[in-house]
Structure formats: structure tokens, C-alpha cells
Amino acid sequence: MRSLDAIDLAMMRILQQEGRISNAELAARVGLSQSACSRRLAALETEGTISGYHARLSNKALDYKMMVIVHISLSGQFARTLAEFEAAVKRCPNVLVCYLMSGEYDYILRVAAKDLEDYERIHRDWLSALPHVVKINSSFALREVLDRPNVGL
């Protein structure tokens, strides 16, 4: 992968804030021709530096008012155990984020729920049914203070 220069960083900074900006406007703002801007953007996408474009939806607007941080312990950390858990957790529609961890818990999940009753259903039907789970610890977020989609450039 090539080194990122100041123009690449400027393009990514703009795209983080304005993902729907036209190529013409992006090119003008970073001081490139449209074709040069398009080539650089394609290279950033091909290299995986830009991994995608998406709309950032409001969980509250979609009636998911509860965010739950879930700590999960497994029966072991054998390759097969981890692979089976990870394949299953990817099928859980309310799990927004899943991290393999070091330390006390094996995984930390961020789960969206409509309310406490909905989380009870998610816990019963999805989380408790995940393979190799021996312990689930749930913490309920009181208020979102910060949710950055990326590191600032």
C-alpha cells in the first residue's frame, strides 16, 4: 500500500463529513482536476483505505432507544470455538459491533434494542443461544456522549 499524502488525507477528511459530495466539488476543494481526483479516489478504494460509503441512520428514529454493552465469556478460546461463536454472532441482527478481547471477557458487543422487553427477547433468543457462551454481562447505556464513525484526520 502506498503512503498517503496531504491530498489523500484532505480528500478523506472531506468525505468523512460529506460522503455524498460530487467528484467535481471534491476535486475543486482539494485542488485537483476531476480525472486526477477520480483516479486517487479509485486507488484509495482499491487499496481498502476507503472501505465503503453508507448512510448513517439514527437508531432513535428507527425506535431503537436502548444501547446495551454486552460482555461475553466463552468456554474456551480454541480456534473452532471462536470461529463458531463469530459465525453465529454475525447472524444476530441487533448486534451492531462485536470485538474479540483480551482480558476478563472474550467478546464485547454493542446491541441495539427498542426497550427492555425487546432486549430480553434478544438476550433469550439470540445471545443465550450463541455457541460456547458461559457468561453474559449486560450494561445499559444511559446516554450517548460520543459516537465517531472514524478517527479524525
- Per-residue pLDDT band at 1 (split at 50, 70, 90): low
Locate CATH 3.30.70.920 in the chain: 66-140
Q: What are phi and psi of 96, to 5 degrees?
A: -90, -35
What are the start and end residues of each CATH 1.10.10.10 domain in the chain? 6-46
Strand segments, DSSP code E, in 39-129 are 66-74, 95-100, 107-113
Q: What is the pTM of this model?
A: 0.82
Topology given in CATH for the domain delimited by 6-46: Arc Repressor Mutant, subunit A (1.10.10)
Q: What is the pLDDT of residues 84-117, one digit of tens each?
A: 999 999 999 999 999 999 999 999 999 999 999 9
Q: How many Å separate Cα 14 from the centre of its chain? A: 20
Q: Are 14 and 20 in contact (CB under 8 A)?
A: no
Q: How far apart are CA 64 and CA 58, in angstroms?
A: 9
| Domain with residues 66-140, CATH architecture | 2-Layer Sandwich (3.30)
Indicate whether 70 pLDDT > 80. yes
How many percent of the chain have pLDDT more than 70?
Answer: 99
